[in-house]
Amino acid sequence: MIAFVVVKYLSFSYLNELQVVFSGMVLFFLSYKPTKTVGKMDLTHYSHKENEMKTDGGVMTNETKKYAETYGGMAGAVLPLIIMMGTMIFMVAFGMRSTKNFWSAGYFAVLAGFLVYKDKKAFQKALIDGVRDNIFAFMIACFLFAGVMSKILTASHLIEALLYVMTKINMSPALMPIICFFICVVLSSATGSAAGALNTAGPLLIPLSVGMGCNVNLICGAILAGSCFGDNLAPISDTTIASSLSQEVDVMKVVRSRFKYALIAGAISVVGYLVFGFMDAGNGVSAEMAAVDATYASSIVFLIIPVLVVVLMLRGSGLFTSLLVSEMAGFVLLFAFGYLTPAELVAKDGLIANAFDGMLSSIIFILFIFVMVSLISEAGVLDAILVWMRKYAKSEKSAEIAAGAMVSVMGIVISSGTSAISFCGPIIRKLLRPFKIDRARAANFLDGLGCGVGYLVPTNPGCLNLAAIAVASGVVSEGYNAVSFVGYNFHSMALTLVFWFAILSGWGMKHETDEELAADGVVIEDGNSGK
């Protein structure tokens, strides 16, 4: 099943991607045999609440967790996921690819959860837990503020000013994909935030590149890939910190050892964007760019807005603070240039209202994703996957394969690399610890596959965020979504291939001595098996 998921998932066709997830989950639940009655699962050596195995005086103890009971057992528990994926496959097959179409898939998943949950109070609790998830709350604010930023830059005519500059320096549209990639590499590496890079660069680079005649899907893929680069490598990235701490290893040691993997994947990405950039440049400069004049040349001053976002983030301000301060500066400039009036700002069809409207579609879909994940999690589905995979860790290679498969599958199911890393990290540490595999190596493929697979899932919050930014910029229709551009995220594809090659071939395999582990304060456990 794992080989099937990993190989097939890299397809450029979203329909194939959905089929992979659906087929993989079906194969898993056909082969999984729970060891307890419905409502309780054997979680020997594993506690979901703390994500770690329990010991009592050095002796492993059995831990069980009470799960919501469902009609049909595990098959019923996974039904919301199957319904959501199956409905999306059906919609994509018949050309219904709008994010609004996918609302129905999410709603049907909720209905399925309601029907299979025996205790409706447990269903209600799971639903509410999904809605009030902290990550979901963060994404709502992120989407709304990014929408306002996009509308400010559109109203400022900064894009027209930059197009004018590009005509004067004869910038080739073929170079824009690689330029977008490098800009986002720098932004994400400097700030440690993929969201920061997306929300800073997206509102500017997407309309600029499309105005030059570039393929919007290729540009979005390049922006996403560059943002993924820093998210995977930066020492202050949440994924780097989560992967390092969960493996009990120093962050900077992990970053130093991760360079070779990131640079190889980055080099593959550079080649990809150069090749595709020149292939797509065959149509020449767009009519919009050819007709641009110096009317809005003075709007180049609005570059201060995205620059201010970056400066504030580098000085330690959070993403929201950076966006809000920069947006206030943007309003002042728009008023000063006469591009906006107070009435136009607050009107029902004004800048703020349009900005929020443009993000609503993605926010509602993300809501259903979080609810669906909460429903299957409370029913024990995610823990079942982890326990099932752990049974096959008989050697260090099989343990690494199980660990890699674990984070890959969780990245697909949860639709978030960060969440997959945080969820799987502690149990992967317990899985690999008896083999004394280098902790930095484990942190590297945990993060590499989390970011690699995670950013290839069209329902990933970052992908949805970027699609919403593209819609808000006005260069694509409202139905545009991540289905169209995840196939151009070459860096995530390269990361996935590089780390699976390292796992399967043993490239970079290192072991740590008892002395090295003790020096870092790591408790040494006896045993030479992953069981």
- Asked if the model's pLDDT at residue 449 lies above 90, the reply is yes
Tokens of 456: 């290839």
Would you say 227 and 198 are in contact if contact means Cβ atoms under 8 Å apart? yes
The rounded Cα 287 to chain-centroid distance in angstroms is: 35
pLDDT at position 63 over 80: no
Q: Does a structural domain hold residue 208?
A: yes
End-to-end CA distance of the chain: 21
Say if 327 falls within a structural domain. yes
| More confident of the two residues 302 and 46 | 302
Q: What is the pLDDT of residue 64?
A: 61
**Average pLDDT in the 300-317 region?**
86
Of 139, 90, 74, the closest CA to residue 367 belongs to: 139
Residue 507 within any structural domain of the chain: no
Q: What percent of the chain has pLDDT over 90?
A: 40
Packing angle of the helix pair 461-473, 194-211 (nearest 10 deg): 30
The verdict on residue 471 lying in a domain is yes
Q: Is the pLDDT of residue 103 over 60?
A: yes
Whether 387 is covered by a domain: the verdict is no
> Has residue 194 got a pLDDT over 90?
no
- Work out how many domains the chain is built from and give that number: 1
Q: What is the pLDDT of residue 31?
A: 40
Strand partners, 47: 52
- Joined together, the tokens standing for residue 53 give 């195995």
pLDDT one-digit tens code per residue, 463-512: 989 999 999 888 998 888 888 999 999 999 999 999 999 999 999 899 88
Report yes or no: 63 and 80 within 8 Å, Cβ to Cβ.
no
> pLDDT, tens digit, for every residue of 283-296?
555 555 555 667 88
Q: What is the pLDDT of residue 531?
A: 39
Q: Is the pLDDT of residue 400 over 60?
A: yes
Q: Is the pLDDT of residue 47 over 60?
A: no
Domain assignment present for residue 470? The answer is yes
Tens digit of pLDDT for each residue in 239-293? Answer: 888 888 888 888 888 888 999 999 999 999 999 999 999 988 655 555 555 556 6
**By the 8 A CB rule, do 468 and 222 touch?**
no
pLDDT reported for residue 350: 95
Alpha helices in 347-416 (DSSP H): 351-378, 381-390, 396-414
pLDDT of residue 292: 62
Q: Is the pLDDT of residue 332 over 80?
A: yes
Residue of higher predicted confidence among 515 and 66: 66
pLDDT of res. 132:
92
Q: Please report where in the chains the tokens 């400039």 appear, as a residue.
A: 333
Helix ranges, 379-395 (H)? 381-390
Q: pLDDT for 206-221, tens place per residue?
A: 998 998 889 999 999 9
> Which pTM was predicted?
0.70
- Confidence category of residue 91, pLDDT binned at 50, 70, 90: confident
> Which range is least confidently modeled, 114-123, 418-427, 440-449?
418-427
Instruction: Give me the mean pLDDT over the 37-41 stretch.
Output: 37
Q: What range does the domain containing 470 cover? A: 135-231+280-363+465-480
Is the pLDDT score of 517 beyond 60? yes
99 near 361, Cβ under 8 Å?
yes
The pLDDT score that the predictor gives to residue 38 is: 35
Q: Is residue 512 part of a domain?
A: no
pLDDT at 419 over 60: yes
pLDDT of res. 120: 96
Which pLDDT does position 524 carry in this prediction? 58
Span 180-189, mean pLDDT?
90
Mean pLDDT across 141-145: 87
Per-residue pLDDT band at 28 (split at 50, 70, 90): very low
Q: Is the pLDDT of residue 44 over 50?
A: no
Specify the pLDDT at position 123: 97
Question: What does the H/E/C string look like for 219-230?
Answer: HHHHHHHHHHHH
pLDDT confidence of residue 496: 96
Own/partner pairs for 165-170, CB < 8 Å, 24+ apart?
A: 165/297, 165/300, 166/208, 166/212, 166/289, 167/289, 167/290, 167/292
pLDDT at 312 over 90: no
Structure confidence at residue 428 (pLDDT): 86
| Model confidence at 160: pLDDT above 90 | no
Mean pLDDT lowest among 22-31, 177-186, 268-277:
22-31
Please report whether residue 434 resides in a domain: no
What is the model's pLDDT at position 290? Answer: 54
What would the mean pLDDT of 143-162 be, rounded to a whole number? 87
